[in-house]
Structure 1
Amino acid sequence: MLHFVVNHVQQDEALIAAVNWEGKTCRFISWPRPSSHVFHWAMPAYVGQSQGRLCCMGGDIEGNSARVTIWVLEDYDKEEWVKKHTVSYSHLFGISRWQPGFDYNVVAIHPDRNLVFIVVRR
């Protein structure tokens, strides 16, 4: 399966599309969301696989604090996401806010080894 991020414009929601080798969409997977409405969630910046599991990296904002969060899809059929890591943008990049896809791109991720490869455009 090939997984990539799509934006459902009508619902203003980021989804992960799973496409088979024939190019047919097999399913859509919801990006993890917290139960609290305090957070404003950004679109995932990266979707990939590590050790046979789907991994996602994206950002969230609470007040003036922006963070990068890494999730792993532990149960593909039930869409059970587990948060593996969270780090503030200021700790990671030295400034408070960056825009994924504009200021940086994620190249690869290995959540169990605490590795994220990022290309910074500045």
Structure 2
Amino acid sequence: GEDVELFDSCNGLLLFRCSQPGPLEADTPFHYAVCNPATLKWVVLPDRSLASGRGGTARLGFDPSVSSHFHVVEYVLHEDEDDNRVIGVQIYSSKTASWNLKESEWDGEFYLDPFAHSSRSVFLNGFMHMMLNDKTIVVVDMEGTTWRTIPVPSDDDEDVQSGCIDQAEGRLCIIYVHDADAVKLSIWILEDHGTNEWTLKHSVMTPQLFPQNNPRLAEDAEDTEAYTVIAVHPECNNLIYFVYGRVYGRDKTLMACEMDRQKIHVIGNLGHYMEPCLPYVPLFSEALADEP
């Protein structure tokens, strides 16, 4: 059997990387596959070809309101194993059933952890958005002709622990986890792609959300490792989903936070060990184009 690793989710489709079992550090051959779990339809992508560089992580682009075709963007890293600089992208189109290698035209050097498969991307208006270097969102279209960068917003808070990009109500957003005296969640919306203008929409101190009479929540609320943002509700920018629980020694719980009402809703327990979580909404359309 093959080792199958979930890489991404986009509008009802899932992207997997499939490889033969082998030593952890071995450079084993692999291929990508796209699946619609609602219809049980799979598409196995053809092999990629790299003249130079290494394949980094990959992301899925799909918008069923525009086309039944999908794209896969693989970020290509420098061939030196110690240099994780992004030197280009490989873009697969289900319309042409082929890969297209493009050299990076982003202004500046950007780095990507080749094992950071849980880093979120956003496919919006035909562009793939990916946050690199923790300070910049890099953007490319599916033809590899338009390249741009978007600086992330700043509220002069130097205690930002992590950020996660997503989309809500058709706009790009970023969720920050702050680890100052108490943990804070904040969400920013990109109002204007032309001017890169961000607006702070919601901000909440998380310890205020948990019952003080719950020993576990009261103890964990000050643990900055306890919060892993999963997603923003696609139709409501004040509802954030996150995983809560210490990295070691505690069960993890999937929760939702209503930012405007400052309320927490427990969705379910995920157990002691948690793989990276991805948002998924079933797509019951038979459309999954795998032919030109």
TM-score by length of 1: 0.71
Q: In structure 1, give the amino acid aligned to 2:161.
A: A
When residues 109 and 15 of structure 1 are mapped into structure 2, their CA distance, relative to the original with a 3 A threshold, is: farther
C-alpha separation in 1, matches of 2:201 and 2:142: 29
The alignment status of 1:54 with 2:172, answered yes or no, reads yes
C-alpha separation in 1, matches of 2:179 and 2:131: 20
Which structure would you say has the larger RCO, counting Cα contacts within 8 Å and 6 or more residues apart?
A: 1
- Alignment partner, residue 159 of structure 2: 40
- Alignment partner, residue 224 of structure 2: 98
Determine which structure has more spread, i.e. the larger CA radius of gyration: 2
Q: In structure 2, give the amino acid aligned to 1:90.
A: P
**Is residue 33–residue 41 contact of structure 1 (8 Å, CA) maintained in 2?**
no
Secondary structure at the counterpart of residue 96 of structure 1: coil
Which of 194, 202, 206 does residue 89 from structure 1 map onto? Answer: 206
- Name structure 2 gaps, 5 residues minimum: 1-126, 211-216, 246-251, 253-292
| C-alpha displacement of 1:111 | 7.8
Deviations 1:81-109 (A, max 9, x none): 1000111132356402333xx75241333
Question: Percent identity between the aligned chains?
Answer: 27
Secondary structure at the counterpart of residue 4 of structure 1: strand
Q: In structure 1, give the amino acid aligned to 2:233.
A: I
The alignment status of 1:72 with 2:189, answered yes or no, reads yes
**Is residue 70–residue 111 contact of structure 1 (8 Å, CA) maintained in 2?**
no
Root-mean-square deviation (CA, aligned residues, Å) is: 2.8
**Is residue 48–residue 109 contact of structure 1 (8 Å, CA) maintained in 2?**
no
Detail structure 1 runs of 4+ shifted over 6 Å in the superposition. Answer: none
- Alignment partner, residue 114 of structure 2: none
Between Structure 1 and Structure 2, the one with more strand by share is 1
Secondary structure at the counterpart of residue 139 of structure 2: strand
The alignment status of 1:116 with 2:245, answered yes or no, reads no
TM-score by length of 2: 0.33
Q: In structure 2, give the amino acid aligned to 1:57.
A: I
- Alignment partner, residue 10 of structure 1: none
Q: In structure 2, give the amino acid aligned to 1:15.
A: T
C-alpha separation in 1, matches of 2:128 and 2:161: 22
- Name structure 1 gaps, 5 residues minimum: 8-12
Identify the range of structure 1 (46-55 vs 64-73) with the bigger mean alpha-carbon deviation: 46-55
* Matched pairs, number: 111
**Is residue 70–residue 84 contact of structure 1 (8 Å, CA) maintained in 2?**
yes
